Amino acid sequence: MSHITKCSINSIKNINFNCSNTYNFRRSIISYQNNAFRHYFNDTDLIHLGLILSRRLSFFLTNLTIGLSLSLELLPQLSSPLNSNRPTRQIPTPPPSLLWYFASRNKLVGDIPSSICNSSSLKVLSLWNNSFNGTIPECIGNLSSSLSHIDLWNNNFHGKIPESFAKYCTLQSFRINNNQIGGSLPRSLGNCKDLNLLDVGNNKLNDTFPNWLGNLDHLQVLVLRSNKFFGQMDNSDVTVSFSRLRIIDLSRNNFSGYLPTNFFKNLHSVRKGHENKLEPEYMEDVSDYVAFNFAYGLSFTVKGSATEFQSLLTKWMVIDFSDNQFFGELPKTLGELHSLIIVNLSHNCLTGPIPSSLGDLSELESLDLSSNKFQGRIPTELTNLGFLEVLNLSQNNLEGPIPQGKQFDTFTNDSYKENLGLCGLPLSKRCDNYRGTLVKFDRDDDELNWKFSILMGYGCGLVLGLSMGYIVFATGKPWWLIRIVERVQQRFTKR
């Protein structure tokens, strides 16, 4: 215990810190985090010590964000390796004055004790990645007037989400994904005006799309993935904004109807994000000189595979509506969301052409439109997407030549498979039947209309000219035509 010689420990449940300076105190925390106490205390003692340290540090460290953030991760980082082969255990009851309760990445089982609701000063409740198999206490909703972050993801909670969130709810993040929770989203969540992140993915929730969340001006991330949500999104009777929303994941549900045009129009952060030249920031809560990364462990399908993020930048823009029952054509307004990085609309029933306006998504890195019923040709405007790394247009009804050049030269056959009408590289099917045809076919119907009108005019003029020529050569001098010309000449001569 050479790293903590400046601090004396009198009792495991009553610790006296007698550190001569904050530097040595920070070293104490680091040495504790690196298992300096392994040989002195058992697991239960370490839990109590972690809780006490969390409480005490709230009074000690004011300017040392690093030291304090280490203390916040104190318990999980110690107990994870220590408990890998130890029996499971119940969660210890926290003291009432506790500000941060971090007990994630353990083997804690059972219920969350209702006594936790006596901790009226609690700001962060982080119990993710355990083996809890009870229900979420109803009184947690009442604590939302003090709580800023609730992390209960990766457990086995069942039952329903607490119904009564406080009128002056201060929650910034609420994460209960990867559990067995059913029922519906409580409307009282609308009281949480500061909510930035809501992740209820991978549960058994059965509800319609929560349009009422559009009134939360700070909501940036909404994840409803892998539940039983149903119905249409575009409700003309509801005026919603979602102006700050930049990540929405509705994949693997039962949503239906047309894609929500008005919803896309209101995503102002995604529409105008490319205009913001400021440095991107991480999603974290910086308060009381503590930087709390509340987006840690968020998971999305990125470029075809599930990706877990250790941290999340505010410039990350995602729309994932895959594995639903949306139908109809793709709205052209989707092309106005210029800051999008990921678009996944695969495994739906979408029809019609792929809008050329998607070529305006200058930041796009992944586009998945596979397993739909899109028709027509691939717009050549998509070759303008300089950052596009993943393109999946497979299992549609597309036809015609595949655009060439730039990023399109990097895509393989898998991007286009099961589109019997497509031809050209990288496919082995040649485009002999499409020589001389117009590849750049859309911008969209208006452009086709005026081109068609010009061609019709040329065609009619050609037919009339040939007809007149035939008459002249067949009848000799057409005297009627000569007389008309002579009269016109006489009029101009008199003038």
pLDDT in tens, 242-268: 999 999 999 999 999 999 999 999 999
**b/e burial code for range 365-376 (CB count within 10 A of at least 16 → b):** bbbbbbbbebbb
CA distance 196 to 221: 6
Tell me the range of 96-105, 355-364, 463-472 where mean pLDDT is highest.
355-364
The whole-number average pLDDT for the span 70-76 is 33
- State phi, psi for 458 to the nearest 5 degrees: -60, -40
Specify the pLDDT at position 311. 79
- DSSP H or E segment with residue 53: helix 43-60
54 pLDDT more than 60: no
Provide the pLDDT confidence category of residue 122 given band limits of 50, 70 and 90: confident
Contact (Cβ atoms closer than 8 angstroms) between residue 336 and residue 357: yes
CA distance 318 to 340: 6
Domain range annotation of the chain? 100-423, 462-493
Specify the pLDDT at position 481. 55
Two tokens, residue 173: 């993040």
CA distance 199 to 161: 12
Which of 159, 114, 158 lies closest to 140, judged by CA?
Answer: 114
Two tokens, residue 231: 């119905």
Domain 100-423 belongs in CATH node 3.40.50.11390: no
Specify the pLDDT at position 117. 83
The whole-number average pLDDT for the span 140-151 is 87
267-295 per-position pLDDT tens digit = 998 987 655 555 678 877 777 656 778 78
Specify the pLDDT at position 386. 92
CA distance 226 to 153: 14
Provide the pLDDT confidence category of residue 357 given band limits of 50, 70 and 90: very high
181-223 per-position pLDDT tens digit = 999 999 999 999 999 999 999 999 999 999 999 989 999 999 9
Specify the pLDDT at position 42. 45
Specify the pLDDT at position 302. 79
Provide the pLDDT confidence category of residue 464 given band limits of 50, 70 and 90: low
The whole-number average pLDDT for the span 385-409 is 93
User: For the chain, how many residues are written?
Assistant: 495
- pTM confidence score: 0.73
